[in-house]
C-alpha cells in the first residue's frame, strides 16, 4: 500500500495523483495513466479534472483529440504536495 493510501484511502483521484507524482518530470496520456494504474480511461478523465482546475496538473493538446498531462511543478500547491509526499514516505515506509 502506498503512503498516501495509508492516510487517505484508495480513491481513483489518489491513485492518479500518486502516478503523476511518480512521473513528476514526465508528460503522460490518459491511456498511459489508466494502463499503469488499472483504472478505466473514463475514471482517469473524471478525477483528473479537479487537478486541472486547481492548476496542479497542466494539460497540453496535441491535435484535436490527444491530451497530455504533467504536474505543474511551478505551482505552490504542487510543491507543497511533493514536500508532503516525500516526508510521508520518510515517516511511513
The answer to whether the CB of 4 falls within 8 A of the CB of 14 is: yes
For residue 6, what is its C-alpha cell?
495509508
Domains of the chain: 3-91 (1.10.10.10)
Out of 1-10, 18-27, 38-47, pick the least confident. 1-10
Q: Which of 53, 50, 29 is nearest to 41 (CA)?
A: 29
When pLDDT is averaged across residues 18-25 and rounded to a whole number, the result is 93
Q: Which of 47, 39, 38 is nearest to 69 (CA)?
A: 47
Q: How many CA atoms lie within 13 A of 55 on its CB side?
A: 6
Report the pLDDT value the prediction gives residue 28, as an integer from 0 to 100: 95
pTM for this entry = 0.87
- Within 10 angstroms of residue 15's Cβ, the number of other Cβ atoms is 21
When pLDDT is averaged across residues 17-43 and rounded to a whole number, the result is 94
Q: Confidence band (pLDDT; 50, 70, 90) for 93?
A: low
Please measure the distance between the N-terminal and C-terminal CA atoms of the chain and give it in whole angstroms: 10
Report the pLDDT value the prediction gives residue 7, as an integer from 0 to 100: 81
pLDDT tens for each residue of 55-84: 999 999 988 888 899 999 999 999 999 999
pLDDT at 37 over 80: yes
Amino acid at each position: 500500500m502506498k503512503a498516501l493510501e495509508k492516510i487517505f484511502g484508495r480513491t481513483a483521484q489518489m491513485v492518479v495523483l500518486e502516478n503523476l507524482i511518480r512521473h513528476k518530470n514526465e508528460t503522460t496520456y490518459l491511456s498511459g495513466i489508466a494502463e499503469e494504474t488499472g483504472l478505466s480511461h473514463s475514471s482517469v478523465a473524471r478525477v483528473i479534472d479537479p487537478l486541472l482546475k486547481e492548476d496542479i496538473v497542466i494539460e497540453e493538446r496535441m491535435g484535436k483529440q490527444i491530451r497530455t498531462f504533467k504536474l505543474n511543478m511551478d505551482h505552490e500547491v504542487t510543491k507543497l504536495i511533493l514536500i508532503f509526499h516525500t516526508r510521508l514516505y520518510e515517516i511511513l515506509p
